Amino acid sequence: MRPLRYSINVTLDGCCDHRVGIPDAELHQYSADILAQADALILGRVTYGMMESAWRPIAESGLLSDGMPEWTKPFARTIHAAKKYVVSDTLDSVDWNAELVRGPELEATVRRLKQEPGNGLYVGGVMLPTALAEMGLIDEFEFLVHPRIAGHGPAPLGGLSKMIDLKLVGRKEFGSGVVSMRYELRR
């Protein structure tokens, strides 16, 4: 059975707005390495759209836009190549190496994907991981905590109906001051 892992960048005050993190070459390489180990990514409509618009053009053309640094290219190539499952009831179709999963099919699809052999699945974003955690489908949580206070949201996993107890299984510090903390479900 392959585990479903959730990874999210957050500030010290819990904000996971993608615009407030502290990106650098080391963190981008770490993220590219993590994604390269995944058998597939499970993304909601919003995260899929954000990732596709940011990374697909760079991966396909090799050209950087909007002042993106050269060190972002490996991440762009890795996410571009990754198999993706996109959860949406509003999109008519997806491409970019992706399959569409409708909301009512979500739990059954993720349970089926987890039963297949492989290294594991990754989910990112805000709303979809909350739904998957509520269903008890996320096996590992990784919080990449940035040394910054944003003063606003959104926050990950808000609105869960019950607490989830976790056990720390890994920790990594980056030169930027970002700290990765990995947790498994406490069973």
pLDDT digits (tens, 9 = 90+) for 84-116: 999 999 999 999 999 999 989 999 999 999 999
Whether residue 147 has a cis bond before it, omega within 30° of 0: no
Average pLDDT over residues 13-20: 94
Q: How confident is the model at residue 66 (pLDDT cuts 50, 70, 90)?
A: confident
DSSP 168: E
Two tokens at 181?
A: 């903390």
Q: What percent of the chain has pLDDT over 90?
A: 94
Count of helices and strands (H, E) across the chain: 5, 8
- Whether 68 shows a pLDDT value over 90: the answer reads no
3-state secondary structure of 75: helix
- Whether 4 shows a pLDDT value over 80: the answer reads yes
3-state secondary structure of 147: coil
Give me the residue label for tokens 């030169």: 175
Return the pLDDT at 117.
96
- Whether 187 shows a pLDDT value over 90: the answer reads no
What is the residue-averaged pLDDT of the chain? 95
User: Which domains, ranges and CATH numbers included, belong to the chain?
Assistant: 4-185 (3.40.430.10)
- Whether 21 shows a pLDDT value over 90: the answer reads yes
The answer to whether 4 and 114 are in contact (CB under 8 A) is yes
